[in-house]
Amino acid sequence: MISQHLAILPILIPLFTALLQLLPWGDRPQPIRRALGLAATLLNIVVVLSLLQQVSTKSIIVYALGDWQAPFGIVLMVDQLNALMVTITALLAFPVLLYGCYAEDNLGSHFQALFQFQLMGIFGAFLTGDLFNLFVFFEVLLISSYALLMHGGGKWRIRACLHYVLLNLTGSALFLISLGVIYGATGTLNMADLSQQMSTLQGDRAALAYAGGMLLLVVFGLKSAILPLHFWLPQAYSTTSGVAAALFAIMTKVGIYAIIRVFTLIYGAEAGSLSGIGHDWIWPLGMLTLAAGALGVLAARDLRLLIAYLVVISVGTMLASFSFATVETTSATLFYMVHSTFITGALFLLADIVAFERGKTASRIVSGRRLAHHGLLSVAFLLAAITIIGIPPLSGFVAKLFILAAPQMDTQGFWLWAFILPTTLTILVTVSRAGSKMFWHTLAGKPGDQRTPRGKLVAMFMLLAVSIAMTLFAQPIKDYTDATAKQLSDIAHYRQAVLRPELGGNHVD
């Protein structure tokens, strides 16, 4: 019986956990809330791994809420892309929450519940098969992120949050306008139904659908931090708490996922005159975002800010690779997405630990006193640096190798190499400079006496271990992303599974 409802459990588990965590729970509520949060996050890992196994061996899972069939009812759907994204989220969430349980959740109100609401919004955005419900789940995760961004207080966080809120409110308004335009042109917002209708549109209706699609690109570009809409990210990610920044490592991937889904399925190869309308823009914007991130890391004088610009670089790399619109480049993009999520999450936690143990020097890239866990954190930074730079043999090298090998070596492929290789050199220089200043050229004297709790160190190394494990299991992961990219290109199969479940797919009510 439970197996029939696996598709909705990743949404329901954090929802009900958050509601339970909001209860008073007596004189010492925090231990109970922490236990509930960790148990729920572990349970979600089991659920998403079950979904991953099912879609790897069976067809697409379509879950019709209330037994109202698509396109008239709300549907959740799980294909290989959805399953991959929710698995990344669940595996990231547990170490981050474990880290937050070591007094980080005491810095502000209702951290544990907000964390679960954030997960609910992210899972819902990945699993929905409807554009309007994508908007709804975007709002859920954004409202939670507003509070998490300000967790712990401070004028810099409030200032960054103000910019973040204003930009995302503008993005939400544009999202609603784009949905209205698309609905006016097609009469539906179900993704499968939209993919079926796009090729039939002509004249004014096609123009409206084109305008709606380009507005969606702007909205998703804001969520994923594409140039020139990326300016909110470095400030927001570098000023918030380490635990919030580590969770936000998946936030830009929600925007990237939405771009991949919408501009492959709805405005993809079978959209007639509207086919590929976003790709002409995604390519140059991805390259410019990559360049902007490289300039940012060169100018960064704080480790947290440097890592935030590394996130911008990863966004540009993924978009530039995806813009080639082939099975090989999409697969490489997805592999790189998995790699970048875990390594940037680990780096944000590492930067938070380093800032705590350095005291007043915090995460500024200057010489400071030795850390209480100097040797251990030095090794962690070395592993993270090798991975994020892309030096053999760790997952960063494998991911960039796939990115560079996937496109054909024409003019566009040449420019991809011409941007990625100098950017990699820039990352090598800047990350090496940061490590040298913060871990090698330390001041003489007694080491700092602020010792990070062991649980925080364990959480950070768990994320590092996932990145290292990607090196050992690179081939199985690549096989999965290859299969996912092939499934994405099979638009007819997606439509059949959602709109005509009697002919295929694994349909549950």
Range of lowest pLDDT (112-116, 122-126, 220-224, 372-376): 372-376
At 88, which helix (H) or strand (E)?
Answer: helix 80-100
Nearest to 100 by CA among 234, 248, 224: 248
Residue 46 confidence (pLDDT): 95
Report the share of the chain in percent with pLDDT over 70: 97
Copy the structure tokens of residue 35: 């236990």
pTM: 0.94
pLDDT in tens, 222-280: 999 998 888 889 988 988 889 999 999 999 999 999 999 999 999 988 888 888 888 88
Chain CA centroid to CA 476, Å? 21
Q: Is the pLDDT of residue 1 over 50?
A: no
pLDDT higher than threshold 90 for residue 160: no
Cβ(117)–Cβ(12) under 8 Å? no
Backbone angles phi, psi at 333, to 5 degrees: -60, -45
DSSP code string of 385-453: HHHHHT-TTSHHHHHHHHHHHSS-SSHHHHHHHHHHHHHHHHHHHHHHHHHIIIIISPBSSPPP-----
pLDDT at 305 over 90: yes
> Left, alpha or beta for 362 (phi > 0: left; psi -120 to 50: alpha)?
left
DSSP state of 230: -
76: closest CA among 176, 138, 5, 144? 5
d(CA 460, CA 132): 36
CA distances from 214 to 262, 281, 283, 330 (A): 11, 9, 14, 21
Write out the E strands in 206-283. Answer: none
Q: Encoding tokens for residue 402?
A: 């796939």
Q: What is the pLDDT of residue 503?
A: 53
Q: What is the mean pLDDT of residues 463-490?
A: 92
- CA–CA separation, 289 and 296 (whole Å): 10
Residue 324 CB-half CA count within 13 A: 27
Side chain identity, residue 55: V
Q: DSSP letters along 473-494, please? A: THHHHHHHHHHHHHHHH-HHHH
Q: What would the mean pLDDT of 341-347 be, rounded to a whole number?
A: 95
Q: Per-residue pLDDT for 67 more than 80? A: no
pLDDT digits (tens, 9 = 90+) for 171-219: 999 999 999 999 999 999 999 999 989 988 888 999 999 999 999 999 9
Kindly state the average pLDDT of the residues 393-412: 88
Q: Quick one: pLDDT band at residue 406, thresholds 50, 70, 90? A: confident
| CA 340 vs CA 180, 390, 404: distances in Å | 34, 11, 16
- High-pLDDT (> 90) share of the chain, %: 63
Separation of alpha carbons 447 and 458, rounded Å: 22
Of 314 and 150, the structure prediction assigns the larger pLDDT to 314
Element (H, E) at 507: strand 506-508
Which residues, including other chains, have CB under 8 Å from residue 127's CB and lie 6 or more apart?
Answer: 7, 8, 10, 11, 76, 77, 78, 82, 86
Residue-wise pLDDT tens digits, 210-225: 999 999 999 999 999 9
